[in-house]
């Protein structure tokens, strides 16, 4: 069993990392890195940012507003 990411999965991880680096507001990043609780307003703001990218519901099918990512892509997204 090969547990290493494929080249496509590594490229996807790089895409997610780059997008988060550019789009996650600094104040939310600091709270997350400090394991602080996010307020309702924080969560709403972050979900609006994710929604603009089409990433707010990664587990949903594309026809319902999801990403249609496979299980590995969803795992990578959650880990990042």
Residue 66 has what pLDDT?
92
Q: How far is CA 39 from CA 5, 26, 58, in A?
A: 34, 15, 22
Per-residue pLDDT reduced to its tens digit, 62-78: 999 899 999 999 999 99
Domain ranges of the chain: 7-17+26-79
Does the reported pTM lie above 0.85?
yes
Phi, psi of 51 (to 5 degrees): -65, -40
Per-residue pLDDT reduced to its tens digit, 2-56: 789 999 999 999 999 999 999 999 999 999 999 999 999 999 999 999 999 999 9
Which residue is listed with tokens 């969560």? 43
The helix/strand count (H/E) of the chain reads as 4, 0
Q: How far is CA 52 from CA 4, 24, 42, 46, 47, in A?
A: 31, 13, 16, 10, 9
């Amino acid at each position: 069993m090969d547990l290493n990411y494929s080249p496509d999965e590594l490229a996807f991880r790089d895409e997610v990392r780059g997008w988060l680096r550019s789009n996650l507001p600094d104040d939310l990043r600091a709270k997350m890195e400090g394991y602080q609780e996010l307020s309702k307003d924080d969560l709403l703001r972050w979900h609006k940012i994710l929604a603009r990218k089409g990433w707010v519901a990664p587990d949903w099918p594309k026809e319902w507003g999801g990403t249609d990512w496979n299980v590995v892509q969803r795992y990578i997204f959650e880990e990042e």
